[in-house]
Amino acid sequence: MSVTRRQFIGAGAGAVVAAGGGCGQARDATTDLRRWWGKPTAPPLPGALTAPAGVEIDAVSHVLNRLTFGARPGDHRRVAAMGVDAFIEEQLAPRKLNDWQCDRVIRHEFDRLADPESSLFPRRGDASDPLQQLFPALKDKGARVGHLYEYKDKLLLEDLTRATVLRAVLSERQLHEVMVQFWTDHFNIDPSKAEARWLKAADDRDVIRAHALGNFRELLRASAVSPAMLWYLDGRVNRRGKPEDKPNENYARELLELHTLGVHGGYTQQDVMEVARCLTGWTVRDRKKFFRGRVEFQAGQHDDGPKHVLGTEIPGGLGARDLDRVLEIVVAHPSTARHLAEKLCRRFIADEPPAAAVGATATAFSASGGDLPATLRTLWATPEFRATETRGAKFKRPFHLVVSALRVTNAATDAARPLIEYLVRMGHAPFRYATPDGYPEQATHWQNTLLWRWNFATALAANRIKGTQIAPELLRERLGGDEALMATVLGRLPDEAERKAYREAGSDLALLLALPAFQRC
């Protein structure tokens, strides 16, 4: 049955046009486990499904909305049974979570993105390994990134994009995936620039994913010497081999403005120049050289004189250690704690982050030395995060919207181009943002995506996205009917206006996915 514009607006979804939205009958996507790769398969559903039973968004739905990319059927029951705080602690320790399904799909489908050390040196330290005998230092000279140049850059970008979507859909380590996206924006790199086209894949693996829930100081240093970052913000050409050479300030400026202190963090142009001096000499080998992608420090290109950064004297003669001294200074600066706390509170609480929550989060960041689990734990304990008026108040960015729809419908997807195209149309495809500030968090930037959100909802519900399938009738049956289906999608029982719109639309799943309540988290 078609959903009219009046029905859609009557449900409160906003001024968008309507499209057809029948629920096509699909194969049994929830139980098709014949193959874990090669064709889309959906995760198995738990034996018993219980939908949220409250008329308002409860604490369980709130935490699932904010700390994950959306609840799957059965998640509410599981988290309610274990308790919200226990779920938070579970997510803060991602390595302890069994993520076999996601890991298996990623390993099989995207071997190009893997760390070659695991296959190149399977018996590290074993003197009998012929590769160790022939090339004992190879693993230290760019082997972890050099293999990426063997592939077409467009193929790597497609792999990286698809793997990102699939991880967000499939992974049990949901908070880790949320924080990976957060830090990908924070340390944004446009892979269309020069050799970042090949090296961004290594940055995602070795910088962002490796440190997303670790220590900020370690994350910052990994980013500073990332081959992709050295290309993107021109750190590789920041040299002072002669007294008349002027350092390149591009990375130094973004280090202070975006990565640490923030635009109003109290640094000056002189600080930018001094930081740039500290960072001279770091470079990366290009694809025309041996050990391409290898990061090196060239002492002869480094300004080794004394510097003065943010009120702190850095003595001369430190060489490569200038980098670590700069990072120690900026990480310890109170403006860095506040800048990061504001961004984290904007992501997890509100577009206008409440001052009290920002203050508590900044204090936790400083007191813990930049420990991210400790910082986040404090944020989620604030009254502002737990307040009922905060629930369901944030507008989902397009990536969140698409992935949450796939998760709540238990979709089977290959995350190929037909699906990615919807993210492209909504302006939120991973790794497509050109400037260093990364995709915006605030809702105002995404308000013009409503039409494509609706188009996506109708296409998904009707199984019109090639490579992506859902089984709506089976899901409805497993949940126990329309009311439970609506509650599962919305994270609470529907109100009368939503029930009426759903009935008038012919029990249309597309309408549920386009409702304002599902557009928010």
Mean pLDDT over 21-42 rounds to 45
| 80 pLDDT higher than 70 | yes
Averaged confidence pLDDT in the chain: 90
| Paired strand residues for 309 | 312
Predicted local distance difference test score (pLDDT) of residue 35: 43
Predicted local distance difference test score (pLDDT) of residue 120: 38
* pLDDT, tens digit (0-9, with 9 covering 90-100), for 423-440: 999 999 999 999 999 999
Predicted local distance difference test score (pLDDT) of residue 117: 66
Backbone angles phi, psi at 379, to 5 degrees: -60, -45
Take residue 55 and report the two structure tokens written for it: 């008329």
DSSP letter, residue 38: S
Identity of residue 319: G
* pLDDT, tens digit (0-9, with 9 covering 90-100), for 237-287: 999 989 889 999 999 999 999 999 999 999 999 999 999 999 999 999 999
User: Predicted confidence band at 231 (pLDDT cuts at 50, 70, 90)?
Assistant: very high
| Among the ranges given (40-49, 295-304, 491-500), the one the predictor scored with the smallest mean pLDDT | 40-49
| Coil, strand or helix at 349 | coil
262-286 residues labelled b (16+ CB within 10 A) or e (exposed): beebebeeebbbbbbbbbbbbbbbe
Q: DSSP string of 282-322?
A: EEE--TTSTTTT-EEE-GGGS--S-EEETTEEE-TT-TTHH
Predicted local distance difference test score (pLDDT) of residue 33: 37
User: Predicted confidence band at 315 (pLDDT cuts at 50, 70, 90)?
Assistant: very high
User: Predicted confidence band at 37 (pLDDT cuts at 50, 70, 90)?
Assistant: very low
Predicted local distance difference test score (pLDDT) of residue 44: 86
Q: How many CA atoms lie within 13 A of 279 on its CB side?
A: 31
Instruction: State the angle between helix axes of 174-186 and 84-91 in degrees (0 to 180), rounded to the nearest 10.
Output: 60
User: Predicted confidence band at 39 (pLDDT cuts at 50, 70, 90)?
Assistant: low
| 24 pLDDT higher than 50 | no
206-222 residues labelled b (16+ CB within 10 A) or e (exposed): bbbbebbbebbbbbbbb
Q: How far is CA 304 from the centre of its chain?
A: 37
* pLDDT, tens digit (0-9, with 9 covering 90-100), for 349-392: 999 999 999 999 999 999 999 999 999 999 999 999 999 999 99
Cβ–Cβ under 8 Å, residues 330 and 310: yes
| 154 pLDDT higher than 90 | yes
pTM above 0.85, yes or no: yes
DSSP letter, residue 435: S
Dist CA 294 CA 191 (whole Å): 18
Dist CA 210 CA 458 (whole Å): 37
Cβ–Cβ under 8 Å, residues 416 and 397: no
| Among the ranges given (90-94, 118-122, 493-497), the one the predictor scored with the smallest mean pLDDT | 118-122
As a dihedral over the C-alpha atoms of residue 468, residue 472, residue 474, residue 480, rounded to 10 degrees, the angle is 140
Q: DSSP string of 355-402?
A: HHHHHHHHHHHHHTTSBHHHHHHHHHHSHHHH-GGGTT-SBPPHHHHH
| 417 pLDDT higher than 80 | yes
Predicted local distance difference test score (pLDDT) of residue 132: 43
Q: State what percent of residues in the chain have pLDDT above 70.
A: 87
Estimate the share of the chain in helix, then strand, then coil, as percent rounded to the nearest 5: 55, 5, 40
Mean pLDDT over 463-491 rounds to 96
Cβ–Cβ under 8 Å, residues 113 and 431: no
Does 71 or 111 have the greater pLDDT score? 71
* pLDDT, tens digit (0-9, with 9 covering 90-100), for 129-149: 444 444 444 444 455 899 999
Predicted local distance difference test score (pLDDT) of residue 236: 98
| 30 pLDDT higher than 80 | no
Predicted local distance difference test score (pLDDT) of residue 142: 53
Nearest 5°: the CA angle 85, 166, 160 is: 120
| Coil, strand or helix at 412 | strand
Q: DSSP string of 242-280?
A: STTPPPP-HHHHHIIIIISS-TTSS--HHHHHHHHHHTT
Identity of residue 207: V
